[in-house]
Structure 1
Amino acid sequence: MVDVEKEYPQIDIIAVGAHPDDVEIACGGTLAKLADQGHSVAIIDLTDGEPTPGSPDPETRLAEAAAAAKVLGVSKRITLDLPNRRLFDCFEARVALAKEFRKYRPKVVIGFGDRTPMASPDHWQAMQITDAAVFYSRLTKWDETFDHLPVHTIGRQLYYKIAFEPIHKLDAPGSFVHDITDCLDRKLESVRCYQTQFPPAKDYIFDRVRGAAIYLGATAGYGAGELFYTTRAIGTHDMMDLLYPEPRDYSERNLRKTSNVE
């Protein structure tokens, strides 16, 4: 059995995308905020995104991805050797991703949560691959299939949506908006690292990403936010802590209550 604790650093959160730039557009602000809070964060791109219009070679796209990860504070970025434009949910793809989960032992995995009509079909395949890999990661009695990497159970899985895709309710137990007000500019900066994908002629993309973040944030009372769907119902041991997650808001409520009594 491989001693993963010696060979691979444990990563708290892993976000999975089909191509470099998927994760940045979908949840780059959240990853930046998590990194700022001291959590270890990684990105796994299932493909290198090549071939693609505007990019001269795979090395250029990978350099852009590395620069974007640095902007967000992501500690590790992994690119799997799966084919762009021909990405399919198959056994080999599931195993390849599950091996990375077994190596880095994430607490949370974040990935695609729906189809993206009029955009790459790879996104939908990526969701199915990620779902299966989360399951495969914890399966016992399959040692040779996973290069004798030890099993790992992922505690939580979340779904994201590409920022400028239509927003609608997914078939999931719950949803929440994560406040990225302080990290919105870094999210946009990370997307701008992909100069081959977003040249000046596509500057409107940044307006769409910013607009989506501001809209989602407003639905929860934040300056900017990113939307996530859960695979389990959202539960709490403390209802007030759930309803008033920020000490500042809760203390203000208490002050108003005290003032009313007086």
Structure 2
Amino acid sequence: MIQEGDQVLIWFEDDVTYLVQVMPNRKLGIHQGRPVELADLIGRPYGDWLDVENGRALLLEPTVEDHMMKARRESGIIYPKDAAVILMKLGIRSGSRVIEIGTGSGALTLALVQQVIPDGKVFTYDRREDFLSLAEANLNKASLVSYVELKKRIGNEPFGETEVDAVVSDVPEPWHEVEAIKASLKNGGRVAALNPTYNQIEKASDAFQKAGFVKIEAMEILVRGILPRLGKTRPEQRMIGHTEFLLFAVKPAS
């Protein structure tokens, strides 16, 4: 049942969505008629239909993808299509300890934290306090902030953690981070570096190789939606194309 303070994704049949926190005395302006009284959602089950003035909406429990795509942002975000591959390639699971370099708005942080709970921890670093504050607010909305340590970092100073399971780097010059990453990763630990250009991914690959990392591979994830219609199924005309190149590597025992 939906309770006061819960997050609810309100989905309309024209695929418009709203992510809201249910609070008394608060209204949600919608595109299909009069505003919704959020107090009216309390006590309803997730999956229930809500009648509105000019239609109806489905009340859903939000996923991590919903929180990522609805997060308030002041920087570019890592999309779910990339985040899913990062989680799989790095072997991140419940109990993992993960360093994230470049918190930004915290979209990828949300995905990392959801994967490591309840026994793991994400240590996320950024040089800008405003980004850390924004990420903290987004994590709070998803009730995940208690599994994260948000830290300000100056320059390329060493990280405060050692023997971590994985590191994710989302900064413009990851080649400057290689030694700090190597010092914090456990043997057999994995790293991902995310960059939008070929030149960046080439330079990062070279730096990891020279530092002794192995199993280096790079890829780009493209996802094209399909419109499933009886007798006329076809690809969607629009898609999210290039976002980031993903570079992966493993730290072996020396």
TM-score, normalization by structure 2: 0.31
TM-score, normalization by structure 1: 0.30
Bigger relative contact order, structure 1 or 2 (CA pairs below 8 A, ≥6 apart)? 1
Q: Which has the larger radius of gyration?
A: 2
